[in-house]
Amino acid sequence: MSGLFLGIRHVINLIGEADDGTVFGQSLVLFGHLGLSLAFIGLFEAQGKRNGLLGNLGMLLSLIGTTCVTAVVFVEIAGASGVNVRPIFDEGVPSIIYTVGPLFFVLGMILVGISVMKEGVLPRMGGLSLIVGTLVFALATFIPYAEGIITVIGGAITGIGFVWLGGYLLSANGKRELTNQTKMSAII
């Protein structure tokens, strides 16, 4: 669901008139990031002991980053509804939340994607989608004249990755594979 929320949000905010996005679009981001906290834990748990350094670091950075982004988006919802939130960002929110949080999120997403591809427990294409989508999304900050469309493309690719991985975990094959892996881990 988080992947769908984040992908749809960027389309809604691109169409919306306001510079701060729309209340509905920003609310989708809020619920998407809240859900990502659970999604990252689920992906981490699905890979189990095979996470290694990349998976562990990716999980940590992703959770810290998505928590910070969730706090920022919560304030941005008020901005989208017309409230002047500039003082909050200029004086009220510690810069680590506003600047380092999203950076941790991006780095964590890339590491989680690499871990998914490297370990082979989950579909590799889902991990690749997380990496490519995150890189495309991050690229948007360097191309301001096309930022809106690039974030839509990056958000869609990332959303596809989360939907792909979540769909696999909910599928019969995914459940069977993970059950077998858990049994093997117990034996070892």
pLDDT digits 0-9 by tens, 38-93:
888 988 888 888 888 989 999 999 999 999 888 888 888 888 777 887 777 777 66
Cα–Cα distance for residue pair 129/53, rounded to 1 Å: 21
> Using alpha carbons only, what angle is made at residue 59 by residues 68 and 148, rounded to the nearest 5 degrees?
50
Per-residue pLDDT tens over the stretch 10-43: 677 666 655 556 778 778 888 888 888 888 898 8
Neighbour-count burial of 4, counting CB atoms closer than 10 A to its CB (0-12 exposed, 13-18 middle, 19+ buried): middle
Q: Please give the average per-residue pLDDT across 122-140, as a whole number.
A: 94
Asked if 155 and 10 count as a contact pair (C-beta separation under 8 A), the reply is yes
In terms of Cα–Cα distance, which of 69, 44, 63 is closest to 54? 44
Q: Please give the average per-residue pLDDT across 1-8, as a whole number.
A: 77
Token output for 91: 């004086």
Distances (CA, A) of 141 to 8, 102, 145: 19, 12, 10
pTM for this structure?
A: 0.82
Helices (H) and strands (E) in the chain — how many of each?
Answer: 9, 0
pLDDT at 129 over 90: yes
> Using alpha carbons only, what angle is made at residue 141 by residues 137 and 143, rounded to the nearest 5 degrees?
105
Q: Which of 24-28, 64-68, 130-134, 181-185: highest mean pLDDT?
A: 130-134
Token output for 187: 């034996």
Token output for 185: 């881990």
Distances (CA, A) of 12 to 4, 6, 24, 28, 187: 12, 10, 8, 10, 49
- Which of the four pLDDT bands, split at 50, 70 and 90, describes residue 118? very high
- Which of the four pLDDT bands, split at 50, 70 and 90, describes residue 185? low
